[in-house]
Structure 1
């Protein structure tokens, strides 16, 4: 049974490599702009584990369902999740992605977003559905 490892790569394992030009500065024309986000390392080993928690849980579910039910089970689950991600409402209506939440088991948990989410953040101006569909289908 090949379960994914929950261990991180290490404590601050990324090394920042910075090439310098003739004047001791990075040559922007050759290397491009620097991005601080790419050179940051995890501050704590649990940070990387928490960042990858959902993917680790999904991998463990797929591997256990494969060992118990066979190869078809993770393929069926992945197809159902992909179908649930693609299903949406009309462009003028907001979607709650309830089907995807039920498949992932997030409908039974209370998260930070459920308590502290501001309902006024997600308010969209409702436009006439005919105009929205014409724009979505590129008819106008």
Structure 2
């Protein structure tokens, strides 16, 4: 949670230079960053792409900051604690279920997404429920 009241995400389109990809000898590290042409295009993305990727996080930060300014520090802390508790699913870790409770707390309960119709992953998932439950028991 940042401390600003931004409505729109900032444009973080920083360019990668040869200085960023150099090793301790001052040469371009090809094994780590790829050829020079790929290293120079590493963060070359459109401004709208970075806005769309950071839109939900910026709106959530704005909402939490407004709650903090209006109600005090306890309001966003309580909301974040509720989200963290609801996001954990200790019962069946192998079964991927939609988390309706988290959607309600995040304010996404009235929106429809592609994942609501087709699921979050493509294709069938073969999971070992018994093995996952045994691993969950041994961790605690």
Q: Same fold (TM over 0.5)?
A: yes
Aligned to 1:43: 45
Unaligned runs of 5+ in 1: none
Output the CA distance in 2 between the equivalents of 1:7 and 1:91: 34
Output the CA distance in 1 between the equivalents of 2:112 and 2:77: 28
Provide the TM-score with structure 1 as the length reference. 0.68
Q: Given that residues 89 and 95 in structure 1 are in contact (C-alpha distance below 8 angstroms), is that contact kept between their aligned partners in structure 2?
A: no
* 1:135 Cα deviation from its structure 2 partner: 4.2
How many residue pairs match? The answer is: 132
Going from structure 1 to structure 2, the CA distance change for 1:19 and 1:101 (only over 3 Å counts) comes to same
Aligned to 2:133: 133
Aligned to 1:71: 73
Going from structure 1 to structure 2, the CA distance change for 1:118 and 1:46 (only over 3 Å counts) comes to same
Aligned to 1:53: 55
* 1:105 Cα deviation from its structure 2 partner: 1.6
2:22 to 4, 19, 23: 19
* 1:111 Cα deviation from its structure 2 partner: 1.8
* 1:64 Cα deviation from its structure 2 partner: 1.1
Spell out structure 1 runs of 4+ moving beyond 6 A. none
CA RMSD of aligned residues (A): 3.7
